[in-house]
Amino acid sequence: MPQTTLITLLGQTSSGKSEMAVSLAKKLGEAWVVNCDSRQIYRGLNIGTGKVEGKWVYGKYIYKGIQHHLIDFVDPKKRYSLKNFLLDFNKVCSTPNIPKYIILTGGTGMYADSIINKYELANLSESQEKQFQKTKKELEQLDLETLQNKYNSLKNIRPNSGSLNNSDFHNLRRLVNWLMRQQDDFCNADIISIPEFRKTYNFAIKIDQDILKKKITSRLEERFSQGLMDEVNQLDLSSDRLNELGLEYKIVSQYLSGDIDKDGIIPKLKTANISLAKKQKTWLKKRDLIWVKSEDEIMDYIK
């Protein structure tokens, strides 16, 4: 039986996830923090992503005495996918000296959701992945009735392929996902397994939205004073890649290319981050999460 407990700690941008995760790890006494932020995995993306200021010590990323995993380890010129994340998460969880608690935290909802809801993701080759995405895009352009007809036809051919309930049968996204799982490449590929845990707890940080807006503004000003502009220059990435990395990197890139002036950077970033925070709150509210204000509240649940 698995001996490790998984604690997922989510929240809006600037809500304090990283520091709360560290404080919680210290209270638990035997815990690692595992990053699920799709930008903090990259080396050099420090100030713009709000990455904790840890240090690599004998191959381990340490911040305030706590081991952090899946952080600061990928070349920013390379693309890192959900499949990469799941494979790397599995490696972390198969480490022989894994502690009693894993605290999964970060701002990329899809990464966290893939663990919480145990996504069935095929371990496809690069060529298979390209074909898979092409087929998915084609299916996403079809209407509901056409997708339902495809579902019924495939059910006749593959009666043991699993069924959708009535709600899923009338849901475009779930129909597409079901149809994609019937693709030959998917059927013949290994499915990336999600580790089993002794217990799982899923939390989200509750924060007053006016306070959050003030924190977003002060954090942005702090990032510029810390040298965000220099960080972007030192990354030596193309404007297209900076745009892909989003938010701070995208908007600073626009400034460097002359699309916006220096005075317009912080206001534009503030608007973008507040918009992101609103979207994150909507996404989080749709999940089955326990809302907390402190690590002490989390301790009350898990002890």
Domain shared by 173 and 197, yes or no: no
Please, how many CA atoms are within 13 Å of residue 183, restricted to the half-sphere of its CB? 20
Q: What's the structural domain count of the chain?
A: 3
**Nearest-5° angle of CA 122, CA 109, CA 15?**
160
Residue with tokens 């699309």: 259
Domain shared by 60 and 77, yes or no: yes
Domain shared by 32 and 167, yes or no: no
Top pLDDT among 271 and 2 is at 271
- Per-residue pLDDT, 128: 81
Host domain of residue 72: 5-120+193-206+287-302
Dist CA 25 CA 68 (whole Å): 11
Residue 187 DSSP SS3: helix
Domain shared by 15 and 133, yes or no: no
Domain shared by 231 and 266, yes or no: yes
* Confidence label for 1 from pLDDT (cuts 50, 70 and 90): very low
Domain shared by 37 and 112, yes or no: yes
Please, how many CA atoms are within 13 Å of residue 127, restricted to the half-sphere of its CB? 0
pLDDT tens sequence across 240-250 = 999 999 899 99
Name the packing angle between helices 172-181 and 144-157 (round to 10°).
Answer: 30
Over pLDDT 90: what percentage of the chain?
74
- Per-residue pLDDT, 31: 97
Dist CA 6 CA 31 (whole Å): 10
- Per-residue pLDDT, 102: 98
pLDDT tens sequence across 76-131 = 999 999 999 999 999 999 998 999 999 999 999 999 999 999 888 888 887 887 88
- Per-residue pLDDT, 147: 94
User: φ, ψ for residue 31 (rounded to 5)?
Assistant: -155, 150
Averaged pLDDT score across all residues of the chain: 92
Domain shared by 237 and 155, yes or no: no
Span 156-164, average pLDDT: 82
Over pLDDT 70: what percentage of the chain?
98
Contacts of 38 (CB under 8 A, 6+ apart): 80, 85, 106, 107, 108, 110, 111
Run of H or E including 66? strand 66-69
Domain shared by 257 and 227, yes or no: yes
User: Is residue 188 scored above 80 in pLDDT?
Assistant: no
Span 182-198, average pLDDT: 82
User: Is residue 173 scored above 90 in pLDDT?
Assistant: no
Query: Rounded to two decimals, what is the model's pTM?
Result: 0.85
Nearest C-alpha neighbor of 155 from the set 122, 174, 185, 178: 178
- Per-residue pLDDT, 185: 66
| CATH code: domain of residue 251 | 1.10.287.890
Domain shared by 216 and 72, yes or no: no
Domain shared by 22 and 110, yes or no: yes
Using CA atoms of 145, 147, 152, 154 in order, give the dihedral in degrees to the nearest 10: 160
* Confidence label for 190 from pLDDT (cuts 50, 70 and 90): confident
Select from 189, 221, 240 the last residue of a domain.
Answer: 189
User: Is residue 65 scored above 60 in pLDDT?
Assistant: yes
Please give the structure tokens belonging to residue 103.
Answer: 């605290």
User: Is residue 59 scored above 90 in pLDDT?
Assistant: yes
Span 197-219, average pLDDT: 97
Span 58-82, average pLDDT: 96
Domain shared by 168 and 84, yes or no: no
User: Is residue 135 scored above 50 in pLDDT?
Assistant: yes
- Per-residue pLDDT, 42: 98
| CATH code: domain of residue 115 | 3.40.50.300
Domain shared by 153 and 297, yes or no: no
**Taking the mean position of all CA atoms in its chain, how far away is CA 299?**
24
Span 184-193, average pLDDT: 76
Select from 154, 189, 224 the last residue of a domain.
Answer: 189
